[in-house]
Structure 1
Amino acid sequence: MSWLTKSLGSSLGKKLLMSLTGLFLISFLLVHCTLNALVFLQDGGETFNKAAEFMATNPVIRTMEIVLFLGLIVHMVDGLRLHFENKSKRPVAYAVINGKNSTWYSRSMGLLGTLLLLFLVMHLSHFWFNARIAGTIPEQMTMFEKMKEVFVSPIPVIVYVIGCGSLAYHLMHGFQSAFQTIGWNHPKYMPTIKCIGNIYAIVVSLVFAAMPIAFHLNLIK
């Protein structure tokens, strides 16, 4: 296994691991976004609650939760390793002329990742931790009702919107960067990949941001 450890410990190995875990998390986000978008069906949360109950009780899904958390931890740790490795190799940042060398969000992945981590901690404490670990959500309260309760206050709504904005910019860079790392950096394909990545980042982030806003404004019944 020494060759595997050595490979993953190299700069290229870290970037590859970052890309693969990133693509895995992007796939999860699509499923999570689709599930949460069921609250917009205006059926009192009936369809959403059924889907949430299935996700909470299905043994395959529960097992995948462990894989998801492992992937998330690896992604974060690997991102930090790459960030500090790049900082040590390049103590003086490259010159940026009129922003042409790179976008501001591609240069701010560390900051965006930190904001996302803070947002994720709040999100998990509101829903997953209370429902699965602490058991502080009353049995008679559905997840739909819990969402209504959380988003009555404007503070969580503001934090969620900021978190979704950070997610959008993080995905805009991360999506195309992941495909570049795995070898799809070709003039013929990259414009399409970049376009798909931008659309994905904007749509997913807007759907996530729309939920707390809609609940707070009492637009979801």
Structure 2
Amino acid sequence: MAWLAKSLNSSLGKKLLMAITGLFLISFLLIHCGLNATIFLNDGGVAFNEGAEFMAHNPIIRTMEIVLFGGLLLHIFDGLRLWLDNKKKRPVAYAVVDGAANSKWYSRSMGLLGTLLLLFLIIHLKHFWYFSRLTNNLTETHTLYNEMQVVFESPIVVAIYVLGCISLGYHLLHGFQSAFQTIGWNHPKYTPTIKAIGAIYSIIIAAAFAAMPIAFYFNLIQ
């Protein structure tokens, strides 16, 4: 196992781990967004609560939840390692930096966007995962859908969620294409397609998640 540890601690190994965990989390976001989007059926949360109930009690899903948390922690840990490596390689900042000439601002701000996302994730987990898994407040009369209605009554919370979703969108915009490039899918023939799919995916996911608290706050769904 020493060779594995050595490989994962190399510069390439760290980037590869970041790409693999990133793609895993990207696939989860698609499922999570699809389930949450059932609130727009405007059926009083029936479909959403049924989906949430299934996710909470299915043993396969619960096992995957552990894998998900493991992948998330690995992604955060590996991102921190890469950020520290970059700081060590460049202990003194360049006198003049024209980053815009070579990359987008969000590509150069993945550390900041990742930190904002982590703070947003902690708030999100406290509001819903902690509520549904670690308290006895979830009942037949107060469902997870009802809790969403309560949480998103606050304009401050809604603003935090929208800002978090914007950060998510920019994070995905860089991370999607970067992950495929790291694993070797980088070629003039199909890289533009990957970038286009990544851009569409990032916009749809971020917009869909941001629309949810907005819809609850303005009573667009019941």
Q: Same fold (TM over 0.5)?
A: yes
Match of 1:181 in 2: 182
Compute the RMSD of aligned alpha carbons: 1.2
- Counterparts in 2 of 1:85-124, with a 5 A limit? 85-93=85-93, 96-97=97-98, 99-124=100-125
- Counterparts in 2 of 1:12-161, with a 5 A limit? 12-93=12-93, 96-97=97-98, 99-161=100-162
Equivalent residues of 2:99, 2:108 under 8 A apart: no
Deviation of the 1:177 alpha carbon = 0.4
Q: Per-residue displacement from partner, 1:146-181 (whole Å, max 9, x unpaired)?
A: 100100111110000000000000000000000000
Match of 1:5 in 2: 5
- The amino acid across from 2:207 in the alignment is L
Deviation of the 1:134 alpha carbon = 2.7
Q: Distance in 1 between matches of 2:80 and 2:99?
A: 28
* TM-score, normalised with respect to structure 1: 0.97
Q: Distance in 2 between matches of 1:53 and 1:138?
A: 11
Match of 2:220 in 1: 219
Shift of the 191–93 alpha-carbon distance from structure 1 to 2, 3 Å rule, reads farther
Equivalent residues of 1:157, 1:213 under 8 A apart: yes
- The amino acid across from 1:49 in the alignment is N
Q: Distance in 2 between matches of 1:192 and 1:85?
A: 31
Deviation of the 1:87 alpha carbon = 1.2
Deviation of the 1:190 alpha carbon = 0.8
Deviation of the 1:142 alpha carbon = 1.1
Shift of the 98–108 alpha-carbon distance from structure 1 to 2, 3 Å rule, reads closer
Q: Distance in 1 between matches of 2:133 and 2:29?
A: 19
Deviation of the 1:99 alpha carbon = 1.2
Q: Distance in 1 between matches of 2:98 and 2:2?
A: 43
* Percent identity over paired residues: 68
Q: Distance in 2 between matches of 1:168 and 1:92?
A: 30
* TM-score, normalised with respect to structure 2: 0.96
SS at match of 2:16: helix
Q: Per-residue displacement from partner, 1:11-37 (whole Å, max 9, x unpaired)?
A: 000000000000000000000000000
Q: Distance in 2 between matches of 1:164 and 1:117?
A: 12
SS at match of 2:105: coil
- The amino acid across from 1:127 in the alignment is F
- The amino acid across from 2:171 in the alignment is H
SS at match of 1:141: coil
- The amino acid across from 1:136 in the alignment is N
The unaligned stretches of length 5 or more in structure 1 are none
Q: Distance in 1 between matches of 2:97 and 2:169?
A: 23
Deviation of the 1:193 alpha carbon = 0.4
Q: Distance in 1 between matches of 2:86 and 2:99?
A: 22
Q: Per-residue displacement from partner, 1:34-72 (whole Å, max 9, x unpaired)?
A: 000000001111111111110111010011000000000
Which portions of structure 1, spanning 4 or more consecutive aligned residues, are displaced by more than 4 angstroms? 92-96
- The amino acid across from 1:103 in the alignment is K
Higher mean alpha-carbon deviation, 98-107 vs 62-71, is at: 98-107
Q: Distance in 2 between matches of 1:130 and 1:215?
A: 18
The unaligned stretches of length 5 or more in structure 2 are none
Equivalent residues of 1:96, 1:102 under 8 A apart: no
- The amino acid across from 1:176 in the alignment is Q
